[in-house]
Amino acid sequence: MDAIFYTVQAINGDYASLVTDDGQEHSITMFLLPEGTTLGSRLKQESFQWELV
């Protein structure tokens, strides 16, 4: 599975709004994201694992 890169655009309570480098939007619960994720963070998702980059 290829890696997908996201940028956190907004955090609304327990959810984060993400956008891929291709412009696709995605919403996910903060519980699944790495500790330290904040507005503007760059994230990589690969094999169902999230990582701050």
For 9-45, the pLDDT digits (tens) are 999 999 999 999 999 999 999 999 999 999 999 999 9
Q: Return all residues near 12 (Cβ < 8 A) that are at least 6 apart.
A: none
Position 30 scores a pLDDT of 97
Position 42 scores a pLDDT of 98
Q: Is the pLDDT of residue 1 over 90?
A: no
d(CA 47, CA 11): 24
What element of type H or E holds 16?
strand 15-20
Position 15 scores a pLDDT of 98
Question: Parallel, antiparallel, or unpaired: how do β-strands 49-52 and 4-12 relate?
Answer: unpaired
Position 43 scores a pLDDT of 98
How much is the pTM? 0.89
For tokens 């291709």, the residue is 22
